[in-house]
A and B are shown apart, each in its own frame.
Chain A
Amino acid sequence: MKIKQLKNVPSALFRYFILIGLSFLILYPIFVTVMISLMQTSDFTNSAVRYLSLSPTLENYKTAAIFLQYGQTLLRSLALNVPLCLLEIVSCMLVAYGFARFKFKGNGILFACVIMTLLIPSSIYFTPFYLSLQDYGPFHWNLLGTPLPLFLMSVCALGVKNGLVIYILRQHFKAYPKELEEAAEIDGAGSFRVFVSIMLPGAMSIAATCFLFIFVFRWTDPTYTNIFLPDTEFIWTRLSNIQTDMSLLPGVEQSDFYFRSILKNTSIVLYAIPLVVLFIFTKRSLVESVETSGLVG
């Protein structure tokens, strides 16, 4: 037994070597961003400073918050995204349950359509949908500039990369033994009851993980939102403005690229805060959903 353990030492060392190296690659850019956000412009020209500012300051965060109109845009972005993501996770779970536990005719073809939604460049179906929005349905509604199309897409599990989420959840639901379901049905439980009281309790951690996915996808890729709501200022709209427009800040030279860099890095930290918070809350589920994915199978 001892010898076997000793034999594993080199391979364990090798594993740590590789994993730590890769983790460094991942964490280093984040470290640099946070460090820059604490700097002052004078630190860039000081050769003694590489990462840590001589006089670290949180002043940048105040400036960036003014620039992003942080409180306002953050609330607005969350007020749109959180309901959308909640709708998406609910509809994705129901759809995945339908695909996983019922062998209806056309199951395979419809599921292929789920994968297809991932594959089709969104601009193919987006334009006609977008053009029809001005005069939508039998009542000729003008839906452009309203969040309604976004909600419609979320209800139908057609949000950003929802296909992937449906796939993951379907894999999860497929792993439950058939007997569990049958026993409940003999006792008179309907299929929705089975979903709520048998499937759901075991799916909480994977659902939390998928919610994290959905939220991250939506937060970092606001293309849809920008197309449907072009005139509303969200936090990402302000963020992309850093490139062109710092005029909101009084007393700042447009060409001051040192300051622009500080502002950019600080703003990105602020922008990522909701993601970090959600990540902290769901990281346990993230690990758990990987751990337990074997147990039900």
Chain B
Amino acid sequence: MRFVNRKSKSVLATRRDNKGYLYVAPFALGFIFLVLFPMIQSFIYSFNDLLFDGQVHLNFSGLANYRRALFEDVEYRQLLLSAVRDMALSVPVILVFSMIVAVFLNKNFPGRAVFQIIFFIPVIVSSGIIPELFENDLVRTAIVSAPTVSEEAVSSFDTSSMSALLISLNIPVALVNYIMQAIGNILEIVNSSGIQILVFTMGLKSISPSLYEASSIEGATAWESFWKITLPMILPQFVVNLTYTVIDSFVNNNNEIMQSINAYNYSRFDFGYAASLAWMYFAIILIILGVFVGLVNLFSRHYK
């Protein structure tokens, strides 16, 4: 079978495979007409001043929109910088965190199903308009964060002494600060890892247990089998989660940049400018995602 190359695929098989077009046709047509054409159009918009009075009037303005975004609009540059920084910092934390939780959930232990359900709850509660409503609810915030007796006892366990301990173990200061910051933001991290945990657990489930058995007979420790078996086997899920994490926080309509783009679009009707903002944002997302995926590929080459 290995020597049969693509070109000599039988006519019958090709005819069978061509039926696939039928199934993906709704998506393909939708993509062409509802996404691709509008995308091209919006790319044109971004180089124009746009007037809309029932009909679209274009007024070519070259790079003016882009120039305005980068050199005149103080807000956009700042939003962009902070979004990129947040993205670069939070994506690894979320991925590592959801991987750890998924590995924990993968073992057989009583109550596992309950935890699996609990960890899905953030997907329901923490996306969309609910967190926005909680944000400026001062009364609620007061109740949530008022200290209790037990919390006072806990807070005597000072994080600064913890980080001092880690630094004294010759762990780089930047890394320690990063970890400490992640611990401080644990609630946000948990809240944005729901889907990722689920995707990882599904991936982990599909690894054949015999692999682990064989490796433990050979004398591999759990730590070794994690790096040598688990990680390479769930790399596909890793890439999906990576993509999804980037999307979830940065193409999400709650994101500040998305909101400002939407504001230009639907309340200020400055469509040309909004298009240029969106395209720049898209380019940056692609670049960052490309860097991340490149790193994962580099890592996976390690195993081949």
Say whether B95 faces chain A, with CB atoms less than 8 Å apart.
no
Taking the nearest CB of chain A, how far is it from the CB of B260, in angstroms?
Answer: 10
Known: A156-B31, A294-B207. A123 touches B278 (CB 8 A): yes
Taken together as a complex, chains A and B put the C-alpha atoms of A131 and B56 apart, in Å, by: 8
Question: Smallest Cβ distance from B97 to chain A, in angstroms?
Answer: 9
Interface string of B89-130 (1 = CB under 8 A from A): 000000000000100110101000101111111111101111
- Number of A-B pairs, beta carbon distance below 8 Å: 273
Asked whether A167 lies within 8 Å of B240 as measured between CB atoms, the reply is yes
Q: Are B42 and A99 in contact (CB under 8 A)?
A: no
Tell whether B140 is near chain A: CB-to-CB under 8 Å: yes
Judging by beta carbons under 8 Å apart, are B251 and A110 in contact? no
The residue of chain A having its C-beta at the shortest distance from the C-beta of B138 within the complex is A257
CB distance from A177 to the nearest CB of B (A): 14
Among A54-62, A63-71, A72-80, A111-119, the stretch that binds chain B is: A111-119
Residue B175 lies at the interface, judged by CB distance under 8 Å to chain A? no
B23 → A minimal CB distance (Å): 3
Q: Give A157's nearest chain B residue, CB to CB.
A: B27
Q: How far is the CA of A30 from the CA of B118 in the complex (A)?
A: 12
Known: A110-B28, A221-B128. A102 touches B23 (CB 8 A): yes
B109's nearest neighbour on chain A, judged by CB, is A12
Interface flag for B243 (CB, 8 Å) = yes
CB neighbours of A117 from chain B (8 A): 31, 35
Number of chain B residues whose Cβ lies closer than 8 Å to a Cβ of chain A: 98
Q: Which residues of A contact B120 (CB under 8 A)?
A: 279, 286
Which of B17, B251, B275 has a CB less than 8 Å from the CB of A103?
B17
Q: Is A208 an interface residue, CB under 8 A from the partner?
A: no
Contact, CB under 8 Å: A120 / B39: yes
Query: What residue of chain A has the Cβ atom nearest to residue B257's Cβ?
Result: A121
Q: How large is the interface on A (under 10, 10 to 19, 20 to 34, 35 or more residues)?
A: 35 or more
Q: Given known contacts A117-B35, A158-B35, A290-B116, is B29 in contact with A268 (CB within 8 Å)?
A: no
Selected contact of B26 from candidates A135, A156, A223, A240, CB within 8 Å: A156
Distance A99 CA – B20 CA, assembled complex (angstroms):
7
Q: A19 near B104 (CB under 8 angstroms)? A: yes
Measured between beta carbons, the chain B residues less than 8 angstroms from A25 are 186-187, 190
Option from A27, A44, A175 in Cβ contact (under 8 Å) with B139: A44
Q: Are B243 and A128 in contact (CB under 8 A)?
A: no
Q: Report B-chain residues with C-beta under 8 Å of the C-beta of A104.
A: 17-21
Contact with B along A236-276 (1 / 0, CB 8 A): 10011011000000000000011001001100100110011
Contacts of B271 in A (CB 8 A): 127, 131
Contact among B28, B117, B281 for A287, CB-based, below 8 A: B117
For residue A164, CB closer than 8 A to chain B, the reply is yes
* Interface-side segment among B60-68, B196-204, B224-232: B196-204
Bound-state Cα–Cα, A75 to B60, Å: 47
Task: Say yes or no for A297: interface residue by CB 8 A criterion.
Answer: yes
Closest CB-CB distance, B133 to chain A, in whole Å?
6
Verify B146–A50 contact, CB threshold 8 A. Answer: yes
Show the binding face of A for B, using Cβ within 8 Å. 12, 15-16, 18-19, 22-23, 25-30, 32-33, 35-36, 44, 50-51, 91, 94-95, 97-99, 101-104, 107, 110, 113-115, 117-129, 131-132, 134-135, 152-153, 155-158, 161, 164, 166-168, 171, 175, 185, 191, 213, 216-217, 219-223, 227, 236, 239-240, 242-243, 257-258, 261, 264-265, 268, 271-272, 275-276, 279, 283, 286-287, 289-291, 293-294, 297
